[in-house]
Structures are given as C-alpha cells and as structure tokens.
Amino acid sequence: MLDKVKELIGDVKAFNASTKEEVEIFRIKYLGGKGLLKELFAEFKNVDAQLKKDLGQALNTLRNAAEGKVTELNASLENNQSQKSFYGDLTRPSEPINLGSRHPISLVKNQIIEVFNKVGFTVSEGPEIEDDWHNFTALNLPSHHPARDMQDTFFIEQDPDILLRTHTSSVQVRYMEENQPPIRTISPGRVFRNEDISARAHCIFHQVEGLYIDTDVSFADLKQTLLYFTKEMFGKSKIRLRPSYFPFTEPSAEVDIYWGLETETDYRITKGTGWLEIMGCGMVDPNVLKNANIDPVKYSGYAFGMGIERIAMLLYQIPDIRMFYENDKRFLEQFKSVI
Ligand code: PHE
C-alpha cells in the first residue's frame, strides 16, 4: 500500500491542467467525499500497527500535495484569465486610429508644387525675415520708389533695412545670386503685409512664385506654362492675360482664368463676368537679372506669383480667408479625404 501511495504522490506532483474544469475533476478524484484519499484513510485503519507510521506520513504528504496542487492551479488559471481580459482578444481587428488631416493650405501648396515639378521646376525656400535688398531693391524697387506702397510692409525694430518679406520674390533673388541659368524654380512660403484683416485679405498669407531663366525665353513660353498650370490645377483651359504693372517684370500681366457661369456661386465669385484673376506674371526685368549677376543680354526669363489662400478658396469654395487661421476642427476635418 505504501508503494501505491508513493506512486500517487508522484502523479499528483506531475499533474497539470489548462482549465478550471480539469482542476475540479482532479480535486474530486483525490479530495472529494468519495475520493481516493477518503478510501485510503479508510484502508489505513486496518493496517498493521508497525506500518502505520510510514504510511500515515505518506498519506498526509499525498493530501497536502493534492490540496496544494488545487490551490496552485486555480490561482495560476485565474491569473491567466485576468491577463486575457487585460489584453482582450488578440485576434480582433485593431481599433481605427483617428488620424489628423493636412491643413488645406498645405494641401494646395503640395498640389501646386507637384504640377510644376512635373515640368522641371525645383522648390526653393528662403527666410521670412528679409533685408531691403532681397525684398525690394534688387527687384527694381529702389528706396522711395512709389511702387513700394503696393505692398504695405512690416518693418522690424525701427530698422528700415530689416523687414518681414512681402512676397517670395525675395527667394528668387537669393536663388539667382547663387545659381546660374538655366533656372527653373518655384518658391512657396509665408508672406506678410500690413493690411486690414477682412474676409478677403489677411496680414499673413502664403504664396508660390515661379522663376524660369534661360536663353531665348519668350512670353509665349510663359503663356504655355500658365495654360498648363490652369489645366492641371483647375481643369480649365481658357486663360486671359491682362496688361499690368510690376516693377520687377516688363511686360507684366495679370492672369485670369475662365471659370464659367454655370452656378449661382460662379456668378458671385466672378462678379457675373465668368473670369477670375488668379496671379501676376511677366518677363523678368533686365535690371533684376543684372542685380543678381545674370547677364541680361544672354539670358531672359519669366516670373509669376500667386496666393495659395486664394487658390484654395476657389477650389474648395471657402468664403472667408480667416477660416484658414482659426484652427476650427469642424473646418479642418472636412479636408480629411483629400490627400
Ligand atoms: N510678387 C508679386 C506679388 O507679390 C507677384 C508677381 C510675381 C508678379 C512675379 C509678377 C511676377 O504680388
């Protein structure tokens, strides 16, 4: 009988279970009312006195081992279960992550960059705090030139030489100073003008300006590039160039696109004409080339500049420029689906 009990101790110690039900079956088998231990202890009464000591000890060991096993297995299964509920069902598809969206200004800027990248323009950037030379003088706007009033300027700390750039043409001057033709570059960036804030104007806004310089560049090249741009950007293929004035280009023009008059909104935004002004452009003035150390006899070029807000307002029918800067989530979330 002693051998049998010893064998059972070995069985109990080796036992393992993966569910609580298995542990319960084990408990009933050993410790239950009609279990093995009950049976063995009953048999124990009839055993010879000299065997009782060893057998008694062995039976106690068996009982303790069985009880210990039940507690241990139950505890570890409980732990497993709480770990399971902590991680949940690991095979379940994950929760959707709430992604942010790009700001409409970035979206439109990237779109413009992409259109010009396709025809060989690179992107160039420059400082927002500029000096007089790059923002004005080099662009054929010497001090006291009346056209400086076209762009009301923020100056910094009463130093008339340091200012917040009023356009990204300043980047083009920097680019020309550092690179010789052929030049094909666009300069996106933030610009500043001391203007009253309204639904149509803001003191901070964004521009993309373009510059193309090479031998034999003509106004026809400019027109073709603009046509390509309006087709890609707006899907409109009718443009009109109106004579205009910029100190840094000669001749200069404003570019209008034919938007159409199909809807009521078309009437409102085009003031009933069907035409919309979208940018300024012209052939780079030889003085500007000279100022940036480019030979105006050998080279010629064109330049253009547009406001990103204006284009975004047209594309997405945004009625008020101030909406771009308010960071209202209800406004920004509407651009989630645009890449
Ligand atoms: N720099 C001009 C502006 O800010 C735009 C422009 C750029 C016009 C290049 C002509 C040529 O209004």
Tens digit of each residue's pLDDT (9 = 90 or more) over 25-81: 989 998 888 888 888 888 888 888 888 888 889 889 988 988 998 888 888 887 776
pLDDT band at 270 (very low <50, low <70, confident <90, very high): confident
For the chain, the residue count is: 339
| Pairwise CA distance, residues 325 & 292, whole Å | 35
| Helices (H) then strands (E): counts for the chain | 12, 10
Report pLDDT for 241: 97
Query: How many CB atoms neighbour CB 231 within 10 A?
Result: 15
Ligand 1 center to 305 CA (angstroms): 4
- Assigned CATH class of 104-335: alpha beta
User: How confident is the model over 85-101, as a mean pLDDT?
Assistant: 79
Ligand 1 center to 280 CA (angstroms): 5
Q: Is the model's pLDDT at 327 over the cut of 80?
A: yes
Report pLDDT for 81: 65
Report pLDDT for 146: 80
Mean per-residue pLDDT of the chain: 90
- Residue owning the nearest CA to atom 9 of ligand 1: 304
User: How confident is the model over 217-234, as a mean pLDDT?
Assistant: 96
Ligand 1 center to 235 CA (angstroms): 23
**Substitution candidate for ligand 1 out of 139, 140, 150, 169 with most atoms within 8 A of CB:** 169
Report pLDDT for 300: 97
Q: Is the model's pLDDT at 208 over the cut of 70?
A: yes
Ligand 1: nearest atom to the Cα of 150: 12
| Pairwise CA distance, residues 192 & 168, whole Å | 10
b/e string for 315-339 if b means 16 or more Cβ within 10 A? Answer: eeebeebebbeeeeeeebeebeeee
Ligand 1: nearest atom to the Cα of 166: 4
Ligand 1 center to 291 CA (angstroms): 17
Report pLDDT for 291: 96
- Residue owning the nearest CA to atom 5 of ligand 1: 305
- Residue owning the nearest CA to atom 4 of ligand 1: 167
Q: Is the model's pLDDT at 143 over the cut of 90?
A: no
Q: Is the model's pLDDT at 147 over the cut of 80?
A: no
Report pLDDT for 339: 62
Ligand 1: nearest atom to the Cα of 302: 11
Ligand 1 center to 151 CA (angstroms): 11
User: How confident is the model over 4-23, as a mean pLDDT?
Assistant: 87
- Tokens describing residue 191: 């610009």
Ligand 1: nearest atom to the Cα of 139: 1
165-174 confidence digits (pLDDT tens): 999 999 999 9
**Substitution candidate for ligand 1 out of 209, 289, 310 with most atoms within 8 A of CB:** 209
Report pLDDT for 221: 97
Ligand 1 center to 295 CA (angstroms): 22
243-257 confidence digits (pLDDT tens): 999 999 999 999 999
User: How confident is the model over 192-202, as a mean pLDDT?
Assistant: 90
- pTM, 2 dp: 0.72
- Residue at 317: amino acid letter: Q
Report pLDDT for 90: 80
Ligand 1: nearest atom to the Cα of 211: 9
Report pLDDT for 174: 97
Ligand 1: nearest atom to the Cα of 307: 4
The SS3 call for residue 283 is: strand
**Substitution candidate for ligand 1 out of 246, 285, 287, 306 with most atoms within 8 A of CB:** 246
Considering 7-11, 83-87, 215-219, 271-275, the range whose residues carry the highest mean pLDDT is: 215-219
Q: Is the model's pLDDT at 202 over the cut of 90?
A: yes
Pocket around ligand 1: residues whose beta carbon is below 6 Å from it?
167, 169, 209, 246, 249, 280-282, 303-305
Ligand 1: nearest atom to the Cα of 169: 1
pLDDT band at 82 (very low <50, low <70, confident <90, very high): low
302-322 confidence digits (pLDDT tens): 999 999 999 999 899 898 999
Q: Any idea where the domains of the chain sit in the sequence?
A: 2-87, 104-335
Lowest mean pLDDT: which of 111-115, 122-126, 154-158, 289-293?
154-158
- Tokens describing residue 18: 């993966």
Ligand 1 center to 201 CA (angstroms): 16
Q: Is the model's pLDDT at 268 over the cut of 70?
A: yes
Report pLDDT for 205: 95
